[in-house]
Amino acid sequence: MTFDYAASAELFMLKRKRGARQPLSYRRFATAAEAIRFAVEELPAIHTLGPWMQVGDERFNSDDIRRLYDSTSYPRLRGPRKSR
């Protein structure tokens, strides 16, 4: 399966509130690549907020989002790698 990083995406995550019912936070992105970058690089703890992404009819959980970010197909440039 090839993933379309240029497709628009919606990102949902739980808001940090105590209690049995946690409201969802929602953001729309022009591209899935932007949504993935935001989820991985900007969210304080990707697994704690339980984000999921909707791209077309497909849903991706936090593990899927991380795999898409780590993929060699991911189109965004990352910062320079530190030398050892």
Nearest 5 degrees, angle CA 18-CA 27-CA 12?
A: 50
Predicted model pTM: 0.75
What is the overall mean pLDDT for the chain? 81
Q: What is the Cα–Cα distance from 76 to 34, expressed in whole angstroms?
A: 8
Whether residue 54 is predicted with pLDDT greater than 80 in this model: the reply is yes
Task: Read off the amino acid at residue 1.
Answer: M
Q: What is the Cα–Cα distance from 6 to 81, expressed in whole angstroms?
A: 25
Domain ranges in the chain? 9-70
Residue 22 pLDDT: 54
